[in-house]
Every structure is written in structure tokens, then in C-alpha cells.
Structure 1
Amino acid sequence: MYDPSGFPGGNIILDFMRLLGLENPTLPSPPSGYRNKSWGWKAVEFSKYIAFSYWERLRKDPPFKRSMFNALISTVNSTCLASKSDWLGKAPVYLDEQEQENLYLYYERDNMVLKERYLPEFNVTRSAEPVHWISTSTYDIPPEEFNACLNTFVDNLPPSLRQELF
């Protein structure tokens, strides 16, 4: 729902500062080479694949869950995947337009109360268009990328668990 393109300069902080009347605020720039560490759609889909594959044991075995979680985090943050597109970066939006509308309407009254209390002169209007959901799944990840990710995941497992599962 909060797509950077909906804010001046793509920055929610600048938008908020302008709302407070602080025109042309200077913000520090991210360091060169900065990359958003949020999981992209491929990382989310791969994590769902792991979760569905080992659902029963993940629910019942906390040490197993911890090992799988650590391997998953290491895999997604690995340099081999970080250099590929859609593993890190903008997270997927799974709310369709009706769900986004329902969410907006659910909080609309609270937002109006906050507006009246803190920003009575501010015109609160809904300006952002809904973010369109793009349906993706594990099957949309190219097989060579998926297999490379799976191999990295297996390598990141503790040796005893790697031997047991694979």
C-alpha cells in the first residue's frame, strides 16, 4: 500500500517533514552500494516452499525450526542470490485492491481522529492508487536460480541435518 512512487522523491520521510512545514529538509544519503534488505518475491516464495515441505516438523521441533530458519536467512542473504534480481528488494504485495480498500476503510476513522487532533488544517484525502498485485509463485523462479538457491540452502544447514534430510 505504501509504494515509494506515491511520495515526493519516493521518500516517506521527506513527505512527513514537508507535512510538518519543514521545506527542503536535507537527509543523509544512503551509502553507495546500499541495497534494500527486504525479501523480494523470490525469497518469499522460496521460504514458503521450505515451510510447506517441512510443515509438520517445523511445528513440532523447535531446534529443527531454528536450524532451518538460520539456513534460510543465510541463503537469502548470500552474495550469490543478492546479485540476482527479485531476491532482495521490494517485498511482494499480497493484498488485492479490495483488501487494500478494506484496510483503508478499517483505519479511516482512526486516521480522521488523529488528523483532527494533530493536524486540523491538513487536508486528508486518499491520494495513493491501490498497488496492483502480481501473482507469482515458486514456479515463476527460473529452475537454475531455484536449484542454486536450494543448493545454497542445503550447504547452510548444519552437517547432521544436511545428512538426515538430503
Structure 2
Amino acid sequence: MICIVMGVSGSGKTTVGRELAQALSLPFYDADDFHSAANVEKMRQGTPLTDEDRHGWLAALAAGITKWEKAGGAVLACSALKEKYRAVLQAAAAHAVFWVVLEGSKELLVSRMRTRSGHYMKEQMLNSQLADYESPTYGLHLSIEASPEELVRQTVEFLRKQKGEKAPR
């Protein structure tokens, strides 16, 4: 299974993705680690990435998805802002990708971004992400007002129900 935890910057996709990977006993990958140095520098300077900038990044993620699926699955934290980006990622997988969509208010996203340090994505870039964001009509949509632990619990419960498994007592 390939599970992609998606959302704009500040939505908690890395935190939730790491915890979900642990709960599912799958490896975790962060799409931020697949950006070129030029893309990271561009974002560090406050310049939004274009579709062209993202081409190599999406190709690297697609190659990873193909490899991870063959190895038994993975959880990927990825913004996946536009439907055409998600289509590239889905096309790399032999089976349907499971999408966890983290969504919340701009105010909450900004407050979270202000508390983190050392990340190249700065608060002013959030507006460009929100402008590009196309909420998917599929996947498990969760509110980021819940704790990461609760979001993982909800996701695991949903996956168990999909597979017809009973939750452990």
C-alpha cells in the first residue's frame, strides 16, 4: 500500500505521516527531501515553485512510489497541491494510492508555521500554496484541529474498516 498524507504547508503532513508509517509498520518518506537544491533555494527566497520547477520533483517521487510499492508499501508526506500532480503520483503505482487529506483554516496553518524553526517554507509562501490547492474529491479528509495522534487513529480505523478488519481491543 502506498499512502500519501497531503496538505499545504503547516497542515502536519510530516508529523502525521511519520506516526502513521509507524502505526502501519511501513517506511516513511517526506517529499520535501526530493526537491532539488535549486527548488529549495527558490522557496527559501520566498518564490513559489512553478509547474515546471516541480517536474523533476514529481518524477523522483513517482520513481520512489514504484520502488516502494514493489517493496511492500510506504507512507509519503507530500503537498500534492494540484490534481495533475496527484495523477502523476497515482500513475506510478500499480494499485490505488490511499490519500489522507489534511485540511484546516489559514489561521491555524499560519500559527503552526510560526512555531516551527529551520524549515525553508516560510509563512508568506502559504498564500501561493492555498491559491494552487485543489482539494481532491476522494481520499480521507481530516481536520487538522485534531491532534496528530487522533488523525492517525482515525486513519488506521478507516483503513481497517476498508479491509474488513476489527480494531484491537
- Say yes or no: TM over 0.5: no
Compare CA radii of gyration and give the structure with the larger one. 1
Shorter-chain TM-score range: under 0.3
Bigger strand share: 2
TM-score of the aligned structures, taking structure 1 as reference length: 0.28
TM-score of the aligned structures, taking structure 2 as reference length: 0.27
Q: Which has the higher contact order (CA 8 A, sep 6+)?
A: 2
